[in-house]
Structure 1
Amino acid sequence: MSETDAADGPPPFGEPFSSDDVEQRIYGTILQTREPTTASAIADSADCDPKTARKYLGWFDDLGIVTRHDGHPATYERNDAYFEWRRINQLAADHSVEELQDRVRELTTRITEYEEAYDAASPAAVDAVTAAEGSDERTIDDVYSDLGDWATAREERDRYERARQQRTGSEREQASG
């Protein structure tokens, strides 16, 4: 591979944010962080000065992207609620009320099919091993796949319903305003 090929391709796996500016590297690091982490550890991962990391983490805290936990030293973690809110806003912006309603209906149909197939109200109520043993058609892998899809469909339906409600409320405000 020539040097130009390497420069045009994605960054090396070990350094996914090396070509980004420091703000993007810190943001990318916080996206990958699953537990409260010190600014120094984030700075190490983002390859920047801890003081710079604290500056951006403070800004991300103000925006709600991270949650700051006071302590000695303070720690930061990704605010999953912010990203959920952002996803719902994007769905509401990208789809009409009718499209959102149609998607809620599709997901509700899929969920109902799983509830009937497994005679349960939620995937958590299903014992996968028992369900596979009691079926001539489903392997344990099929059951786990169904349960994962079912759980995802429930989460997605909730997001689409919240986006639909948001979009409906916005349209009402615009019509009355």
Structure 2
Amino acid sequence: MSEFEAAPNAGADRSRWQGETDTFGRVYDVILGVTSPTAYTDIAEIADCSPNAAKKHLDRLAEMGVVRADRDRRPAAYERNEGFLEWQDANRIADDLSVEEILDRVADLEERRSEYEERFGTADPNDVSVFGAEDHGTVHDRMTAVSEWKGVIRDLRLYELARQLAGNDGHLIPA
């Protein structure tokens, strides 16, 4: 199973996945790969479990904040909660780095963000028209730069959150 697939393809990979992972783990793996609201019946099919088991585990994950549930839809739909995943990433950063290391990284990221803002004359990467160039190479370069810029902005959010967590003994607000 590659790191980008929520579930293994077929055959031996699927049976190994089933043998090594319980139902909750399979549902969890599948939901982490879901980027838009998906019916629990579809998640059950991918996780190779009953719809009732998938719904039970998805409701538990929703209570934990890992997923968002739309129970008004029929059948109910679920998607991963990006905010939870960002908090989890920031928590790992806070555990792995000192406050000084986090601050150094934030300074580097802010410098990179400023360079992109100067290059494109805007503070918002969504304002940049990547298709305004005449040749394919320039379009590709602009698309890559805008994508990297968005990554810098995301990393800034993560490292700022990590700084708050590290500076407040794991809490977002001082205790």
CA contact (8 A) 2:105 2:159 kept: yes
- Cα–Cα, structure 1 residues 48 and 108, in superposed 2: closer, same or farther, change >3 Å? same
Partner of 2:84: 82
- Cα–Cα, structure 1 residues 127 and 30, in superposed 2: closer, same or farther, change >3 Å? same
Counterpart amino acid of residue 93 in structure 1? D
SS class of match (2:78): strand
Q: TM-score, normalised by structure 2?
A: 0.79
When structure 1 is superposed on structure 2, of 116-125 and 160-169 the one drifting more is 116-125
Counterpart amino acid of residue 89 in structure 2? R
Deviating 4+ runs (over 3 angstroms): 11-19
Partner of 1:115: 117
Counterpart amino acid of residue 83 in structure 1? L
Structure 2 gap segments, 5+ residues each: 1-6
> Matched residues in 2 for 1:152 and 1:123: separation?
10
Counterpart amino acid of residue 70 in structure 2? H
Partner of 1:127: 129
CA contact (8 A) 2:99 2:167 kept: yes
Counterpart amino acid of residue 64 in structure 1? G
Partner of 2:56: 55
Q: CA RMSD in A?
A: 2.7
| Structure of greater Rg | 1
Aligned residues: 160
2:102 is aligned, of 100, 103, 113, to: 100
SS class of match (1:160): helix
Counterpart amino acid of residue 155 in structure 1? R
Q: Does 1:31 align with 2:32?
A: yes
Deviations 1:9-35 (A, max 9, x none): xx9544564442212111111112222
> Matched residues in 2 for 1:61 and 1:163: separation?
24
SS class of match (1:48): coil
Deviations 1:49-75 (A, max 9, x none): 122212212221221112222234322
CA contact (8 A) 2:117 2:123 kept: yes
> Matched residues in 2 for 1:162 and 1:69: separation?
28
Q: TM-score, normalised by structure 1?
A: 0.78
Counterpart amino acid of residue 92 in structure 2? Q
Counterpart amino acid of residue 22 in structure 1? T
Counterpart amino acid of residue 111 in structure 2? T
Structure 1 gap segments, 5+ residues each: 1-10
**Percent of aligned pairs with the same amino acid:** 35
